[in-house]
Amino acid sequence: MIKAENICKSFNNGTVEVLKNISLEIEEGEFAVILGASGSGKSTFMSILSGLERPDSGKVFYGNEEITSMNDKLLTDFRRREVGFIFQQYYLLPHLSVDKNVRMGADLAENKNYREIIEKVGLADKLKSRPSELSGGEQQRVCIARALAKNPNILFLDEPTGALDEKTGRQVLDYIMQMKKERNFTMIMVTHNANIAEMADKVIKINSGEIEKIYKNTSPKSAYEIGW
């Protein structure tokens, strides 16, 4: 279980208050969506939850482990063990092939069978391509493979379809859901798209750095059932 308690964060010496006392819980294996308008603080919150950044005050727990009290080394170890990331801007290593980009994740978990995942996202014939030679949808699929190759227990996604058109966007979401079904990791996705939120088990709606409401979907939809 992931638990955030009273998270506050501001920038520019406290003048820009981005997160105001956010608390929530996410169950193991759950698919949670953090929904909110652009600039509402979603990405900031996600990087605090995932140990990329520290809050000004408040705590984040994974089970009994408090990651907000860890030093840099422990935090790096934690990310290595537990989390995977998928970002809107991909952040692939531009000078390495698809194969080696995915291997970046795989080596962290000593995963020797990572090429299976590349096959599963449909990129078996692109192993040797560089990211700049791929379409947006293909690049995002490399990111999925890279994140999953390290066998994360929690997958964080920041607007994973933000740069994609409807068709590729749905396809990417579908790949992600298939993988989730297979491996049953916890998934936390940030989006401004209320349609995508209908796919989640739990929705956390954020407005100007505060939780507006938290609700559960009784019957989550698939990537092809939601509007766009």
Ligand X SMILES: Nc1ncnc2c1ncn2[C@@H]1O[C@H](COP(=O)(O)OP(=O)(O)O)[C@@H](O)[C@H]1O
163/165 Cα distance (integer angstroms): 7
Question: By CB under 8 A, what part of segment 55-84 binds another protein?
Answer: 72-73, 76-81, 83-84
Q: Which does 36 bind (CB under 5 to 8 A by kind): another protein, ligand X, Mg ion, none?
A: ligand X
- In Å, how far are 80, 114, 215, 221 from 150, measured between CA atoms? 8, 8, 31, 27
Number of residues that bind ligand X (CB under 6 A): 12
Q: Show the site string, 27-56: x = touches ligand X by CB under 6 A, - = not.
A: ---------x-xxxxxxx------------
From the list 160, 137, 136, the residue with the least C-alpha distance to 147 is: 160
**Shortest distance, position 76 Cβ to another protein, whole Å:** 5
Residue numbers 11-30 binding ligand X by CB under 6 A: 11-12, 16, 18
* Residues 92, 101 contacting (CB under 8 angstroms): yes
Question: CA distances (Å), 108 to each of 80, 111, 130, 148, 180, in order?
Answer: 7, 8, 21, 11, 20
* Residue 49: closest CA among 162, 190, 166: 190
Distances (CA, A) of 23 to 26, 57, 79, 207: 10, 12, 21, 14
Give the nearest distance from C-beta 210 to ligand X in angstroms: 12
- Max Cα separation, the chain? 50
Q: Could you give the string, one character per residue 160-199, with x where binding to another protein holds by CB under 8 A and - elsewhere?
A: ----------------------------------------
**Contact stretch for another protein (CB under 8 A) within 33-41, 63-71, 105-113, 118-126:** 105-113
**Chain contacts with ligand X (rule: CB under 6 A):** 11-12, 16, 18, 36, 38-44
Binding site for another protein (CB under 8 A): 43-44, 47, 52-54, 72-73, 76-81, 83-85, 87, 89, 91, 93-97, 99-100, 103-108, 128, 132, 150
